[in-house]
C-alpha cells in the first residue's frame, strides 16, 4: 500500500540489490575505537583513516582535550538553551574572540553547526526581491539556505567566471545580490578562481560576496584563513563562513565579517536563535584549537607534502583523479560506476584503509568517486602504505591495469 | 510561423542533446516523467536555455515548470519582460 515512504522505494531497491551482492554498506561504517587522528579500529581491524575532515589532526591534541575537560568540569555538559537566551557562556564569547583574531575581522558569530551557519547566513541576508547567485556544485547547506529564504535563486556553471558574469548581467541592476562561493569544492577537491570571480562580480552593482571556507581553513594562506587569503582577495569578501568540524577538530559553525551592522544578525537569524548553543566543552576545545592553528606552519607544510605525494602516487598508479594537480587536501579518485566504486571501497577497507565513497546526487556530473582527505598527522610511512593499498585494491578490482 | 512556435522549436532544439530516450516532444511532455531527467541534467539544460534566450530562469521559477509547454510560455514571458 502506498504511503509517504513509497517515493523512497527505488532507493530502497537499489540499496538492497547492491548489498545482496555481498558488499559491506559504505554508508554504515562504525568506528569501534579511534586511536589517533589517522587510525581507528573498524570491525576489529586497525584501519588508516583517509576519509575524515580532520585535516590538521587537532582531535587528539593534548591542549585541546584538556580545555574540553576543564570546561566540562566548570560549566557542565550543555547549555540547554539558545545563544540569545541562556545559551551564551563565557566560552562562546571566548571562541568568537579567537575567531576574530584568527580572521582579523571585527565580528564573529558562532552557530551550532557549519550547516546551520550557511542555512542562517544565506536565508537571513537575502530576502524577498533579492537574489542569491550560487555555483551549481555548491554544498547542500548552501542550497538549503536558499530554499529556507525568500530570495530568487540563480545558479551558474561550476567555477565558470564567464557564466557568473553573464548571469549577474541579466539581473536587474538595482536588485541586491548575494554571491555565494566556496574556496574548496569538497567533492573533487578543486579550488575556486576567486580573483577572477571577484573581478567579474565587481563589474555589477549591489553585490555582496560570501565565501564558504569549510575545506580551506587551517592550511590555505599565510594565516591559514582559507583560499580567499591565499589568493589575496580578503578585502573583497564580505562574509566568510566556516566550520569547527574540519581543521578545528570538533563541531560548530561560524561566520566572520567586518560589516558594521553584522551584530543585528544575532536577533534575526532563525538557525542561530531557534536552536540550542554548543556545549561548553565544544566551544572550549574549538577556541584552543583555533589559537593553535594560528601557529601551525609545520603541520600545514606536512599536509601539503602529503597531498602532493598521494596525488602523484595515485596518478603514477594509473588512477583518474578529480583534479590534474593537487589543489587541496582532498583527492578524489574517479571510478566508472557504482559497482566498481563499491568493490574498490571494500577492497581498500579490507586492506585496512578507510576512504569516503560518494555518489550522485552529491557528486558533480553523476560520477562515482572515492574521496581521500589527508591529515597533517599522516606520516610519510602511512602515505607509502596508502599507496600500496590502492595499488593492491586497484589491481584486484580491475580499476587499474 | 508564430512567435510561440519559434520558441517551441528553439526549446526542443535545446532538449535534443539531453533527450537520451528520444521521447516525442509536445507541449504536454514532462521533464521528470517523460524525459526522466535528474537534477544534474535539469541544471545543464536550464543553463543552455538561459544562454539561448539571454534570460534567467530562477530556481524558484523552475520549481513551477513541469512541461515543455510551460517552459515555452515562461520563456516567452521572460524574453518580453
The stretches of A264-373 forming alpha helices (DSSP H) are 265-268, 270-273, 280-293, 297-317, 338-351
Of the pLDDT bands very low, low, confident and very high (cuts 50, 70, 90), residue A68 is very high
Cα atoms found within 13 Å of the Cα of residue B3, Cβ hemisphere only = 7
Over the stretch A285-309, which tens digit does the pLDDT of each residue have?
999 999 999 999 999 999 999 999 9
Residue A251 or residue B22, greater confidence: A251
Contact predicate B53/B72, CB 8 Å? no
pLDDT for A262 beyond 90? yes
Q: Which residues of A touch B51 (CB under 8 A)?
A: 166
Query: How buried is residue A276: exposed, middle or buried, by Cβ count under 10 Å (0-12/13-18/19+)?
Result: middle
Across A30-57, average pLDDT? 96
Residue B18 has pLDDT above 90, yes or no: yes
- What is d(CA A139, CA A125) in angstroms, rounded to the nearest whole number? 18
Q: Do B38 and A360 touch (CB under 8 A)?
A: yes
Residue A361 confidence (pLDDT): 76
With contact defined as beta carbons under 8 Å apart, do A322 and A188 qualify?
Answer: yes
Of A153, A157, A365, the CB nearest to B58: A153
Asked whether the beta carbons of residue A170 and residue B50 sit closer than 8 angstroms, the reply is yes
DSSP single-letter state for residue A128: T
Our CA-based measurement puts residue A150 at a distance from the nearest CA of chain B, in whole angstroms, of: 9
How far is the C-alpha of A251 from the C-alpha of A108, rounded, in Å? 16
Contact list, B47 vs chain A (CB under 8 Å): 136, 155-157, 163
* Each residue's pLDDT tens digit, A364-377: 777 899 999 999 99
Task: Give ipTM to 2 decimals.
Answer: 0.91
Mutating which of B40, B75, B81 best tests the A interface, going by the most A Cβ atoms within 10 A? B40
Return the ∠ at Cα A198 (arms to A193 and A203), rounded to 5°: 135
Q: Is residue A206 packed enough to be buried (19+ CB in 10 Å), middle (13-18) or exposed (0-12)?
A: middle
Average pLDDT, chain A: 96
Compute the distance between CA of residue A376 and CA of residue A10 in angstroms, rounded to an integer: 40
pLDDT tens digits along A87-118: 999 999 999 999 999 999 999 999 999 999 99
Q: Which residue of B has its CA nearest to A160?
A: B47
The cell numbers describing A388, all together, are 600500496
Cβ-based contacts of A363 with chain B (< 8 Å): none
Q: Are the Cβ atoms of A154 and B56 closer than 8 angstroms?
A: yes
Mean of the pLDDT values across residues A346-369?
89
In this structure, are residues A350 and A13 in contact, taking their beta carbons and an 8 Å threshold? Answer: no
Q: What percent of chain A has pLDDT over 70?
A: 100
Cβ-proximal residues to A108 (8 Å cutoff; 6+ apart), any chain: A96, A97, A99, A100, A254, A255, A256
pLDDT at B1: 64
Amino acid at each position: 500500500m502506498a504511503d509517504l515512504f513509497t517515493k523512497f522505494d527505488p532507493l530502497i531497491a537499489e540499496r538492497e540489490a547492491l548489498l545482496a551482492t555481498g558488499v559491506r554498506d559504505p554508508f554504515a561504517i562504525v568506528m569501534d575505537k579511534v586511536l589517533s587522528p589517522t587510525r581507528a579500529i573498524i570491525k576489529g581491524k586497525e584501519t588508516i583513516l583517509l576519509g575524515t575532515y580532520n585535516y590538521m589532526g587537532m582531535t587528539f591534541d593534548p591542549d585541546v582535550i584538556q580545555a574540553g575537560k576543564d570546561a566540562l568540569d566548570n560549566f557542565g555538559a550543555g547549555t540547554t538553551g539558545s545563544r540569545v537566551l541562556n545559551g551564551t557562556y563565557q566560552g562562546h564569547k571566548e571562541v568568537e574572540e579567537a575567531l576574530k583574531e584568527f580572521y582579523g575581522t571585527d565580528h564573529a558569530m558562532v552557530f551550532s553547526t557549519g550547516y546551520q551557519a550557511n542555512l542562517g547566513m544565506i536565508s537571513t541576508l537575502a530576502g524577498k526581491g533579492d537574489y542569491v547567485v550560487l555555483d551549481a556544485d555548491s554544498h547542500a547547506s548552501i542550497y538549503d539556505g536558499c530554499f529556507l529564504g525568500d530570495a530568487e535563486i540563480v545558479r551558474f556553471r561550476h567555477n565558470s567566471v564567464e557564466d557568473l558574469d553573464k548571469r549577474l548581467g541579466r539581473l536587474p541592476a538595482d536588485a541586491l545580490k548575494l554571491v555565494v562561493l566556496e574556496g574548496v569544492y569538497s567533492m573533487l577537491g578543486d579550488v575556486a578562481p576567486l580573483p577572477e570571480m571577484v573581478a567579474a562580480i565587481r563589474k555589477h552593482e549591489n553585490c555582496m560576496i560570501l565565501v564558504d571556507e569549510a575545506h580551506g581553513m587551517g592550511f590555505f594562506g599565510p594565516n591559514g584563513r582559507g583560499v580567499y587569503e591565499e589568493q589575496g582577495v580578503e578585502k573583497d569578501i564580505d562574509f566568510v563562513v566556516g566550520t569547527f568540524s574540519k581543521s578545528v577538530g570538533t563541531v560548530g559553525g561560524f561566520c566572520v565579517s567586518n560589516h558594521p551592522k553584522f551584530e543585528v544578525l544575532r536577533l534575526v537569524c532563525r538557525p542561530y536563535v531557534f536552536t540550542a548553543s554548543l556545549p561548553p566543552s565544544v566551544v572550549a576545545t574549538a577556541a584552543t584549537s583555533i589559537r593553535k592553528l594560528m601557529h601551525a606552519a609545520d603541520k600545514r607544510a606536512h599536509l601539503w607534502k602529503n597531498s602532493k605525494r598521494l596525488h602523484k602516487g595515485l596518478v603514477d598508479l594509473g588512477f583518474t583523479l578529480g583534479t590534474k594537480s593537487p589543489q587541496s587536501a582532498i583527492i578524489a579518485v574517479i571510478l566508472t560506476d557504482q559497482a566498481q566504486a563499491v568493490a574498490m571501497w571494500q577492497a581498500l577497507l579490507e586492506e585496512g584503509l578507510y576512504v569516503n565513497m560518494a555518489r550522485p546526487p552529491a557528486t558533480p556530473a553523476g560520477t562515482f568517486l572515492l574521496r581521500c582527505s589527508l591529515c597533517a598527522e599522516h606520516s610519510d610511512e602511512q602515505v607509502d602504505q596508502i599507496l600500496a593499498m590502492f595499488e593492491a585494491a586497484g589491481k584486484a578490482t580491475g580499476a587499474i591495469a | 510561423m508564430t512567435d510561440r512556435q519559434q520558441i517551441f522549436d528553439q526549446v526542443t532544439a535545446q532538449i535534443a542533446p539531453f533527450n537520451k530516450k528520444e521521447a516525442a516532444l509536445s507541449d504536454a511532455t514532462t521533464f521528470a516523467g517523460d524525459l526522466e531527467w535528474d537534477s544534474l541534467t535539469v541544471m545543464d539544460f536550464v543553463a543552455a536555455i538561459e544562454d539561448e534566450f539571454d534570460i534567467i530562469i530562477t530556481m524558484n521559477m523552475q520549481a513551477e515548470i513541469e512541461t515543455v509547454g510551460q517552459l515555452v510560455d515562461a520563456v516567452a514571458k521572460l524574453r518580453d519582460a
